[in-house]
Amino acid sequence: MGVESGKKIWILCVRDSLQANCKNLKIWLVFLHTGLGERASYCDGKLKAPPKPCAGNQGTQITVEDLFYNVTTRRKALKNPSEEYAKILEVVGRYAIHNSGISFSVKKQGDTVADVRTLANATTVDNIRSIFGNAVSRELIEVACEDGKLAFKMKGYITNANYSVKKCMFLLFINHRLVESTALRKAIETVYAAYLPKSTHPFLYLSLEIAPQNVDVNVHPTKHEVHFLHEDSILECVQQHIESKLLGSNSSRMYFTQTLIPGVECSSTEVVKSVASSSFTAKGTVDKVYAHQMVRTDSRDQKLDAFLQPINKPLSTGHTAVTLDGGTGLSDGRSRQQDTEMEDLNDFDTMVAAQGDSVTTPEGQKESGRLTPETVPTRKRQWAGSDVEMEEDDTRKGMTAACTPKRRIINLTSVLTLQEEISSQAHASLQEMLHDHSFVGCVSPQWALAQYQTKLYLLNTTQLSQELFYQILLYDFANFGVLRLSEPAPLYDLAMLALENTESGWTEDDGPKEGLAEYIVEFLKKKTEMLKDYFSFEIDEDGNLTGLPLLIDNYVPPLEGLPMFILRLATEVNWDEEKECFESLSKECAMFYSIRKQYIVEESDLTNQQTEELGTGSTSWKWTVEHVIYKAFRTHLLPPKHFTEDGNILQLANLPDLYKVFERC
């Protein structure tokens, strides 16, 4: 069919068999240079009327009705609509890959979502990713070659040795027509046979341009298979080029092997052979990983109980001294571990409030654990009277402190020096072990078991959590949220409780307790501004403690230790020197926040009545240790080198050694 428009003649070729076997064939063409379109209708292969002008989008639209209405045998050969639609999708998808500069869209009549959709500005790799998936597209190698003597050009994409499937996906276009060539397929698969496992095949997309006079299309009734002149020479040229590309990409081949603990020297009996030392046999298979070397856990696996946070039921054995917003209080006999979900603002806003510029918690802390100035907004103002910069986001002033995206950049030399000391003392192997460990369980509030690769470790939760909070206090210095106390806690009463405790070491020679308590209150009131600014400790004018720093989400310190913490805050902190002050204050605060056995009631210490009253609450501390504390160890803790010597991290068992023992039995 030819349509004349202006000075250009546009030719649209439709198979004669299609025209002759359909009752109604409608064709719309919209010309690129004019923006106008013309429409023509055919019936039984004959033009009904001259083409008429019409409106439409640029492109060609063909509508076929009553296909094979006059050939009953051919019509019965059609399969069910689902199979025919699948074949249409396959053909259109392949043409979409070949024509990367054109947008293709295929969808069933009545559906709103297209099953195949490509963009006009997408590349060939983008189209392969859209149709065949990411697994194919990330392993592609571009190929291109030509030979003037043989009058052919070849370009396309093939997968490297990392990718293999049971069925070969071969997209072959010769002179921009989708065809098949059995000889070319076998020639390429012969090359891949040396790289892929047995009975597996690659993904291939090739586009060949051969002189039209050299192509024989009359091989198959459907014109789907072709032969061409100089076939053997062209196949040899394509084979050599593909083999050279596969040899060049072999350096990036991936295999699954057992990794070693960094920094540890292992004997040959404990090491899985590396790839470089002939780890692959002639057949291309990986050396067997023996049972005594196999790691059977994955630190990335999540447990179901991580999403089922237990509800605390506090004991009623003593009077409530301090209560946090949310209804849980402090008693003499039990830790009131809070189970507030920090991400839920409806519950969180009753416990955390934003007051002042220093009450902030960076959003990025969950991801990296150590924020850099580049991760925060760009607005800055200088913090009066100190080496501190303030960055604000005025669009979210109404949110709680822990969610407000503000970040203060601390330039205090003392704080930076303390941070450098932590970094310099970090142990790389221990850090990797904590990052990739699999939590086994709690032995007691002080000790827990964790597995790393083939080794089982006993970890001192108390010391590790104390170091964790110490590092958080220094790395997030002056960037904390606030845990608001529902009822202000008088510093005088807290000091009196601490002095009555034998742990305080008070004697009559020290003077009356009342006088010491009043001195502590007055002393801490003088430090209110600094404590609030840098550590988010809030003390009102009447000498009442109203807020504590929020160091990590879903964690509230054991408030039974609050009286002793207030006492040590006034007596054990060096308030004279800046660096020593921040260091000692951070250590005292970290001790208060750490998991300590004396403030946790275990199930063995409870009576039957108390156990019934607590229900699942007695296991809340175990949930906190596993899903809050040890989770924070992965990203926040830089374990110091002395942990390898002071018994805080002990290796209990090693799988290869256990196999040696059992082999003797």
**pLDDT tens, position by position, 157-199:** 999 988 889 999 999 999 999 999 999 999 999 999 988 888 8
Q: Strand 388-391 relative to strand 380-383: parallel, antiparallel, unpaired?
A: antiparallel
Q: Are 187 and 241 in contact (CB under 8 A)?
A: no
C-beta of residue 347 within 8 angstroms of C-beta of residue 522? no
Q: Please answer whether residues 437 and 450 qualify as being in contact, where contact means their C-beta atoms are separated by less than 8 angstroms.
A: yes
Mean pLDDT of 496-520: 87
| pLDDT reading at 467 higher than 60 | yes
CB 156 within 8 A of CB 146: no
> What is the mean predicted confidence (pLDDT) over 365-387?
37
CB proximity list for 251: less than 8 A, separation 6 or greater: none
Least confident of 402-406, 443-447, 571-575: 402-406
Task: Return the pLDDT at 18.
Answer: 54
User: Would you state the pLDDT for residue 172?
Assistant: 93
Across the chain, mean pLDDT equals: 75
Is the predicted pLDDT of residue 645 greater than 80, yes or no? yes
More confident residue, 266 or 138: 138
What are the DSSP E strand ranges found in 510-568?
538-539, 544-550
CA-to-CA distance for 85 and 106, rounded, in angstroms?
10
pLDDT confidence band for 56 (50 / 70 / 90):
confident
Statement: residue 330 has pLDDT above 70: no
pLDDT at 594: 92
Per cent of the chain over pLDDT 70 is 71
Q: How far apart are the first and last CA of the chain?
A: 88
For residue 583, the model assigns a pLDDT of 93
Beta-sheet strands, E only, within 302-454: 380-383, 388-391, 407-410, 438-442, 447-452
> What pLDDT, on the 0 to 100 scale, is given for residue 23?
59
| Percent above pLDDT 90 for the chain | 27
Q: Look-up: residue for tokens 């032995």?
A: 443
Helix axes 81-98, 124-132, angle to 10 degrees: 160
410 pLDDT above the threshold of 90: no
Whole-model pTM?
Answer: 0.48
State how far the Cα of 466 lies from the Cα of 596, in Å rounded to an integer: 9
Residue 4 in this model has a pLDDT that exceeds 70? no
DSSP 560: G
CA gap 502, 288 in Å, rounded: 61
Which pair of tokens denotes residue 276?
A: 């470089």
Q: How far is CA 134 from the centre of its chain?
A: 17
pLDDT on residue 146: 92
Q: What are phi and psi of 58, to 5 degrees?
A: -60, 135
Of 664, 468, 663, nearest to 555 (Cα)? 468
For residues 1-30, average pLDDT: 50
Output the six-digit token pair for 303. 């447990």
- Kindly report which listed range (119-128, 289-298, 396-405, 561-570) carries the lowest average pLDDT score: 396-405
With cut-offs at 50, 70 and 90, classify the pLDDT of residue 67. confident
**pLDDT > 50? residue 138:** yes
- Angle 8-11-13 from CA coordinates, rounded to 5°: 175
One-letter amino acid of 646 = D
Torsion of CA 127, 131, 137, 140, to 10 degrees: -80
pLDDT of residue 607: 55
Q: Is the pLDDT score of 350 beyond 80?
A: no
Report CA-CA distances (Å) from 156 to 194, 211, 241, 404, 583.
21, 18, 12, 51, 63
Strand partners, 9: 4
Q: pLDDT at position 250, please?
A: 61
Q: State the pLDDT confidence band at 99, using cuts at 50, 70 and 90.
A: very high
- Report CA torsion sign: 40, 42, 45, 47: negative
Average pLDDT rounded to a whole number, residues 54-77? 78
The answer, yes or no, to whether residue 17 has pLDDT greater than 70, is no
H or E segment to which residue 591 belongs = helix 578-593
Is 32's pLDDT higher than 60? no
pLDDT tens for residues 602-637? 655 555 555 555 444 445 888 888 888 999 998 889
Q: Using 50, 70 and 90 to split pLDDT, how confident is the model at 215?
A: confident
Per the model's pLDDT, the better-predicted residue between 270 and 151 turns out to be: 151
The answer to whether the Cα torsion of 468, 462, 307, 354 is positive or negative is: negative
Query: Is residue 364 helix, strand or coil?
Result: coil
> Can you give the pLDDT at residue 343?
36
What is the per-residue pLDDT across 589-605, written as a single tens digit (0 to 9) for each? 999 999 888 888 765 55
Q: Which residues, at least 6 apart from 536, have a Cβ–Cβ distance to it below 8 Å?
A: 358, 359, 480, 481, 482, 547, 548, 549, 550
- What dihedral angle (degrees, nearest 10) is formed by the CA atoms of 524, 529, 535, 539? 50
Whether 546 has a pLDDT exceeding 70, the answer reads: yes
Q: Which of 85-94, 252-261, 283-292, 452-461 is predicted least confidently? A: 252-261
| Residue 406 scores a pLDDT above 90 | no
What contacts 540, CB < 8 A, 6 or more positions away? 488, 546
304 contact partners, CB below 8 Å, separation of at least 6: none
**Average pLDDT of the residues in 336-363:** 36
d(CA 485, CA 318): 19
Does 221 have pLDDT greater than 80? no
| Nearest one of 442, 438, 440, 439 to 603, comparing CA atoms | 442
Which H helix or E strand runs over 143? strand 140-147
Predicted confidence (pLDDT) at residue 491 exceeds the cutoff of 70: yes
Give phi and psi for 647, each to the nearest 5. Answer: 85, 10
Token pair listed for 34: 């004019």
pLDDT band at 130 (very low <50, low <70, confident <90, very high): very high
Tens of pLDDT along 265-288?
544 444 333 433 443 444 444 466
- Minimum mean pLDDT range among 111-120, 378-387, 438-447, 487-496: 378-387
C-alpha–C-alpha distance, residues 507 and 501, integer Å: 11
Higher pLDDT, 43 or 134: 134
313: alpha, beta or left? (left if phi > 0; alpha if psi -120 to 50): beta
User: What pLDDT, on a 0 to 100 scale, did the predictor assign at position 603?
Assistant: 57
For residue 21, what pLDDT is reported? 61
Q: State the Cα–Cα distance between residues 586 and 470, nearest whole angstrom.
A: 6
CA 364 to each of CA 34, 381, 549, 626: distance values in angstroms, whole numbers, following the listed order: 54, 21, 17, 22
How does residue 107 score in pLDDT terms, banded at 50, 70 and 90?
A: confident
Residue with tokens 């970090």: 426
Mean pLDDT computed over 29-55: 75
SS (H, E, C) 253-306: CCCCCCCCCCCCCCCCCCCCCCCCCCCECCCCCECCCCHHHCCCCCCCCCCHHH
What's the residue count for the chain?
Answer: 665
What's the pLDDT score for residue 503? 84
- pLDDT band at residue 20 under the 50/70/90 scheme: low
**Residue 142 main-chain phi, psi, to 5 deg:** -85, 135
Strands 59-67 and 22-30: what pairing? antiparallel
In sequence order, which residues have a C-beta less than 8 Å from that of residue 139 and are 6 or more positions away?
Answer: 159, 160, 162, 163
Bridge partners of residue 179, in order along the sequence: 172
Decide which of 560 and 259 is more confident. 560
The span from the CA of 528 to the CA of 286, in Å, is 65
